[in-house]
Amino acid sequence: MESSSVNTRCTYKCADAKDGSMTLLVTIDGREFPLHSRVAPAREAAETAPDPGRYDLVIALGCGLGYSMLPLKDELQRYKRVIIIDILRGIENDIGRNVNTGFLASSRNVQFITGKDIPEIEKFLAVTVTLDEHKGIHVREHSASFKLFPEYYSSVKAAVKRVLDKKASGAATVKAFGRAFLRNALFNAEQIESLHPVSSLAGRFAGFRGLIVSSAPSVESHMAQIRANRNRFVIIAVDSAIPMLEQNGITPELCVSIDPQHRIAEHLLGHRGERTAHVFSIVSPPATVKRYSGFVSLNSHPVSQVIENLYPGITGSIDSSTGSVAGDALALALLCGFESIAMAGFDFSFTHNNIYARGTAYQQRYATMFNTRLRTPESFNAEYIFKSSRGFIESNRYTRRSFTGYRDSLARYIKENCPGRVHWIGGGLLPHGVVPATVDDFISAPVGYDTAERAAEIIRQAERSAMGVDPVKVREFLTRDDVWEELVKESVGGSISLEDYAKLRRWAAGRVRGEA
C-alpha cells in the first residue's frame, strides 16, 4: 500500500526485509529509496535511550517505522511524554502494524505529528509543550530521515529549537518577574476604565503611510530625511526612540510601550506626551500607564485572558507573538490599516559598534553620567557589546543570538501577515521578506493621504471609545479562590512558596476591598 507525505512529490510503501520484518521504501520524484535496511532494519537501533530520570520528554525528529525508537521500549512508560515528528503522513498506522515497533502506536504517552508543514508543527509545540512539567528534554534525530529529507527535517529542528528557546526564556522571565508582572496586570485592571481599547484604532489610518521608528544606531543616518519629510507619514515610535525623536524636533503620533519592566520610565524622562498617543500592554508599569493613559492591548498574560473571556473582542490586541517590540509595533501598524508601512532603526545587531542611536536614554546616560577621561561612551558601548555578544558575529556584525531570533520571528510574522509590504529603512541584519528602501523610496509611492496632519484628529476620535470593562467585576472574578489559584500558577510558575502565595492572596484581596 502506498501513502503520500507532506511532500507531494513523495510516496512510500511498506515491504518485507530479508529477515522477515517490515521495511520502508520511499519514492521521491520517481526514484525509490529505502528508509530502512532491506536486510535487517531493526539493527539501526544503535543509539541508547535517554535516562528517563533526567529526560522525561523525548522529541523524535523522524522515525520511519520506528526502529530507531526500540532502545526506549523497556523504559517507555517512565517518560512523561514522547513526541514523534515525521514527514510521512499516517506512518503511525504502519508502525501500529509492525510487530517490532507497534508498542509506540499503542502507548498513551506517545504522540505522533505526521505529514504536517513547519508552521503547523511549530504552532502545535508552542501550545502543548510546557517546560514546567518536565525535568528535561531529549531531542533525537533519525539520520536516515534527515538524509532523505534534509530541508524538511532541518526546518523542523530549527522550529523545535525556536519553541524550546522561547519557552525557556519565558520560563526564566516568569521565575524572575512573574510576581511583578502579576501586580502590574492587577493594578492596570483597576484603572482600565480610564484607557481606550486598541481595537478602536482598527482601520482608522487606511490610505496613510506609517513609519515605525526604533532606536538602533542605523536610524541616525536617516533622521535628517525623516525630519524633512515629517508630514508625509504617521510615526509609530517604540518607547526607546522617544528621546531621540524629540531631540530632533519630531513628535510621534503613536508610541508602543509594551515592556513590563519599570526601566522603560527612563525612556520617557522629560516626555510630556500631550501630542503622542501611547499603546500599553496589560502588564506595562502601572505608574507609566496612569501618567500617559492611552490605549491598552491584551497579550498572553493570564489577566489578559480573563478580561478577554469576560468581555470578548472588546479590547483587542497587538501581541504579535514575535517576542519583540518590533513585531508588536508592526502589528499595530497593520491593525491601524496603513496603506504603506516602513520600519527604521531595527538593526538586530550592534551597528557601528554602538548599542543605541545618539539621543536615546542609554547613550545619554553614558555621555552625561558616566563619561570620564578614562571611560568614554565608546568604551561603555564596546564593553557591553563584547560581553553581551560573547563574540557572536553574523554578516560581519557583532550581534546576539537573541537578536537573530527576534529578526527571524519578525520575518515569519511578515511572511504570514504582510508579505512584500514592509519597507526596510536602515542597516543591520535585514529580516527575510522586507523591501530595502530609503525614506525617498518610501514616500515616492502614491497613497490616498499624503499628509499626517489629520492623524491627531483621527486619534482623538479613537480616544472617544471607552473600554466598556467594569474593573470591579474583573477584580472580583480574579480573586475568586479557584480563579486566583490558577492565575498565580500560570503567572508565577511552580516555584512560589506557600508563604509567598499567601502574601499575594492577601494583597489581592485587599485590592478588591479598596485598601492601599
Do 94 and 105 contact (CB within 8 A), yes or no?
no
> DSSP string covering 386-400, please?
HHHHTT-EETTEE--
On the question of pLDDT at 128 being above 70, the answer is yes
10 Å CB burial of residue 151 (0-12, 13-18, 19+) is: exposed
On the question of pLDDT at 338 being above 90, the answer is yes
Q: Quick one: pLDDT at residue 480?
A: 78
Q: Quick one: pLDDT at residue 436?
A: 94
Q: Quick one: pLDDT at residue 516?
A: 46
> pLDDT averaged over the chain?
84
Distance set, CA 63 to CA 48, 85, 246, 386 (Å): 15, 8, 57, 42
200 — pLDDT class (breaks 50, 70, 90): very high
6 — pLDDT class (breaks 50, 70, 90): low
Q: Give the count of beta carbons closer than 10 Å to the beta carbon of residue 207.
A: 13
How do residues 18-72 score in pLDDT, each as one tens digit? 999 999 999 998 899 999 999 999 887 766 888 888 889 999 999 999 999 999 9
DSSP SS3 for 295: strand
How do residues 412-469 score in pLDDT, each as one tens digit? 999 999 999 999 997 888 999 999 999 999 999 888 877 777 898 999 999 998 888 8
Beta strands 81-86 and 31-34, pairing class: unpaired
Q: Quick one: pLDDT at residue 401?
A: 75
Rounded Cα distance between 489 and 486, Å, is 5
Q: Quick one: pLDDT at residue 398?
A: 74
Do 87 and 7 contact (CB within 8 A), yes or no?
yes
On the question of pLDDT at 203 being above 90, the answer is yes
How do residues 311-332 score in pLDDT, each as one tens digit? 888 899 999 988 889 999 999 9
| Residues contacting 107, CB < 8 A, separation 6+ | 76, 77, 82
On the question of pLDDT at 514 being above 60, the answer is no
For cell 530541508, the residue is 151
Rounded Cα distance between 371 and 16, Å, is 76
- Which residue did the predictor score with more confidence, 408 or 485? 408
User: What is the pLDDT averaged over residues 275-294?
Assistant: 91
How do residues 490-513 score in pLDDT, each as one tens digit? 666 655 566 666 666 666 666 555
DSSP SS3 for 31: strand
Q: Quick one: pLDDT at residue 262?
A: 75
Rounded Cα distance between 236 and 214, Å, is 9
Do 57 and 136 contact (CB within 8 A), yes or no?
yes
Helix (H) or strand (E) holding 186: helix 150-190
The pTM is what? 0.67
Closest by Cα among 66, 59, 62 to 14: 66
Helix (H) or strand (E) holding 83: strand 81-86
Q: Quick one: pLDDT at residue 291?
A: 92
How do residues 64-121 score in pLDDT, each as one tens digit? 999 999 999 999 999 999 999 999 999 999 999 999 999 999 999 999 999 999 999 9
Q: Quick one: pLDDT at residue 484?
A: 73
Rounded Cα distance between 354 and 379, Å, is 10
